[in-house]
Every structure is written in C-alpha cells, then in structure tokens.
Amino acid sequence: MQITHVASAGTLGLSAVDFKLTDRYADVDDNQHYQLETLLPMAPCVYPYRHIEVTDRSPIRRESFGIPTDSIVIGAFVSGLKLSRRCLSLWLDVMKRLPDARLAFSPVNPALAPLYAQLAGSAGIDASRIIFLPQFASDAENAARYT
C-alpha cells in the first residue's frame, strides 16, 4: 500500500499510489472525481496541531527592540534553509514598499543570527531593517511572538 498526502498539491496521478491522506478542507468530496488516488480524509484536519494558549505576559515589547509603534513587523520564523534567493528577493520587494517595516527572525539557535543577517544582506535587505527575537522556554511565550 502506498499513500501520498495533502502536501503534494493536487494529485500525483499514479495508479501505484492507493490513497491520499487529506481532510475536508484540502479536498472537498467532489475532488475524488479528478484524482486517481482514493481520498482518505481525516477529521477534523490532517495536520495534528495542538492548541497553544498565548501568554498574556509576553516578554517581547516593541520598545525593547527600538521598533516604532507605527512600524509593521513581519515575522519570518523559519529555518535559514527556507530563505532562498527567490524568497529573499520577495521580502526585499515587500520591504521597499513598506519603508518603515522590520523583518523579524527568531532562529532556534541564537548563534545562527549572523547567518540570517548575511542571507538577508546578500539579498539587499539593510541590516537596520532586521530584528532578532529570542526563542523562549515555553510554547506559550513563543506563540506570543505572533501577537
């Protein structure tokens, strides 16, 4: 038995693949007519995310990072491996259109911050537009980075 999953956009179109692990949000019932793989929907969602309460005592404050209150902060909380040239050129375009915006990274290991800065700099993103948010001890504190 072979199973593909919802991360494979659309269908593989291979008769050797028996099922596509999905959910009712990614594949509505009518999609079965257009796919060789038998849909295997999970309820309620194929991604098993657990709910994380966001702490109301977030240690992150704009003032502590020198960010003006009217600036937009764009969080790019991803692995450095995801910061491709294409991705960073798109971020540069966004930053040009939003001159007061800041791009926030939060590497799992603080020692990786220079790598992120180098990648962004090589794409033309000025270092003054980049901020680094620390990782925290709890999921609730880390989730607060998005608020």
Provide DSSP, 6-52: TTS-S----TT--EEEEETTTS-GGGGGG-SSEEEEESS-SS-PPP-
Identify whether 37 is part of a domain. yes
Domain housing 115: 62-146
Confidence class for position 29, pLDDT limits 50, 70, 90: confident
Question: Which residue did the predictor score with more confidence, 108 or 147?
Answer: 108
In a domain, 54, yes or no: no
The pLDDT > 70 percentage for the chain reads 97
- For residue 8, the model assigns a pLDDT of 65
Could you tell me the pTM of the whole model?
Answer: 0.67
Q: Are residues 36 and 100 in the same domain?
A: no
Contact call for residues 31 and 39 (beta carbons, < 8 A): yes
The answer on 94 and 142 residing in a single domain is yes
State whether 70 and 14 are in the same domain: no
Q: Are residues 32 and 72 in the same domain?
A: no
pLDDT tens track for 33-56: 988 899 999 988 888 777 788 777
In the three-class reduction of DSSP (H, G, I as helix; E, B as strand; rest coil), residue 60 is classed as: coil
Q: How many helices (H) and strands (E) does the chain have?
A: 3, 6
How far apart CA 123 and CA 117 sit, in angstroms, is 10
